[in-house]
Structure 1
Amino acid sequence: MFSKKIHHFYSYLILSCSLPLYLTPSTTQAIGNEINGATIASAIGDNSCMNYQVVGVCFWLKCTYWKCSVKTSTKISHFIPEVVVSTYNHDNHSPWTEVQQLNKGAMGGQHQTPSKMYTQYTFKNGEAIGHPGGFVLQAIGSSGYTCESQTTGYVPYFLSSLDFFAWNLGMPEMFYPESTTPTMREVKANGDLWGNIYPRSGSVTQTHDYKAAAVVAQRIADIISRNGQLHIYYPLTKKNSRDGKWYPKEVEEGNKKTHRWQMLSPKTENSCSIFPDGGASSTYSDKLSSKENYSWALWRPYACCKKRGQVFLGNTDWISTHTQ
């Protein structure tokens, strides 16, 4: 009952913003730090993030009034941009201009200023909104050549303003073993530690703004890819069905088989990576936002095959998929 109320509340939010989405002038490239639906949707085209593969074959039982026969269809695997995850310091400061009002009321973020140089504390607001490119992939998916995303474009799946208690106070996750045990659940590589996943709140011990924003984005992905978390959110989780669809596993930091990030703002990249996304000596100066706000598309792996009968009998894979 509670999850239904949250879902209805989200639906109300997105409906209240639907008119501005159609009235806002569109562009195909970001201007400064700002992006919109057209910018985001166009970014799925010329890039290597999808990683499209033919991985096997599916078997179906098709019956008519006269007989039953076994039909086959090709099994494919590829990544899909599910949501756009944005992190920023101030209320209504999301780079995605069309949805800035969705997270209205979020606490003001903080970062290093001349008066706070003694601290490494950074606080970020965050959101996860359905990727508008899903509409394009769903249209193609009806032909059986791509898989259907479990998300809906423009629908909010996480808003830090709604998750006030956990996001601003870190409760109760600050007492979890993942929060109190060193080296447990960290975003790091080659000795470069960006931050801890737990507690999954807006507070990060990190002076580098890009790294702090990336850690917060990773925390949001960690929350929404799991069921039953002590946060207010709408989960991106579906059990594997028997109709030839295989959905993504939970996001795991540092594991490119479970997810990939594509930067959208302050600049749009045509490739995907995981955090940390550079060498230990990288300054990430080309990715720093002058407004301290960032957006990434979260890509996750799917596998599917076109339905050819009434009953799914099974499948044979010759290439291991990321959903297994």
Structure 2
Amino acid sequence: MDELPGWLPAWCLDQLGGEPTGVLFTSRQVSTVFGLRLVGGRDVVVKARADDGRAGSCVAAQARLAEGGFPCARPLTPVVRVGALAVHAEEFRPGGAVLHGNSPDVAVRCARVFARLMVALAGVTVAPPLPNPAWVRWDHADAGTWPAIDVLDNRDQRAVPAHIVETAQRARTRLLAAASPGVLGHADFEAQNLRWRGRQLWAVHDWDSLAWQPEAALVGAASGSFASSGPPTLAPVESSDAFLTAYQDFRGRSFTAVELEIAWAASVWMAAYNAREMALCGGASAGGDALRAQAAERLRRAHA
């Protein structure tokens, strides 16, 4: 409790009707997340992130999905500005297990979820949540290959292997050549953000990571990232292929040849972004190793 920010107890009292009496968990990544027990025993989750204008659309879309019965936490408040932060609360939805593995069978299970998610989001009208999350922000207007992120750009770029930069450049060129319209989709579709009870999906988390990109690009990114249950990695090519095929089957429409190229380009861009971040921050090398092994084939399929 002593480590909670000073604004949080009063915010909970004002927005939720009770101050926190205990901390269930804390997590600090893109957003800072607090699992709290309030006076009276009610458990909630409060999320705070830098207010870049995205949060309102993300939370509104999450609320619409929850209202429609999609398995995700239901927001309890709108987004409220606290200084430079955008803050909201949602219900605590614990339980379920992470599905580990990167086989084609796992890919098909995850593709079914992603197709269901995209169908649900197609019925949601919100302002596009821009700017997109950095790992799918290949359409940025910043100088150079990567979107400007001070915490990464201020590090020694010599730590990033040349093949990662080249791969990102080629994938980005292919993505920028596409003229497909943007749609709303989940851009951090990783094993660690899904929970299962047996073969039944229990929850999809991390709705802060909604993005506005072409459908094929969002599906492609998910086809590469679905197996990440910790540090980001890249699924095998055959599993990404199974994901893309299953998604089209579940959606009931086939991608065009160009859309498939965009999907493969998005898969390799996201992997390159993550590999660069790991190289700069001293993280796990598994994603970078997988990228090195697969980049040529993925770029070939992307016609990049």
Greater strand content:
1
TM-score above 0.5, yes or no: no
Q: Which structure's residues are more often helix, by fraction?
A: 2
Q: Please identify the structure whose Cα radius of gyration is greater.
A: 1
**Under a length normalisation based on structure 1, what TM-score does the superposition of the two structures give?**
0.24
**TM-score for both structures, normalised by structure 2:** 0.25
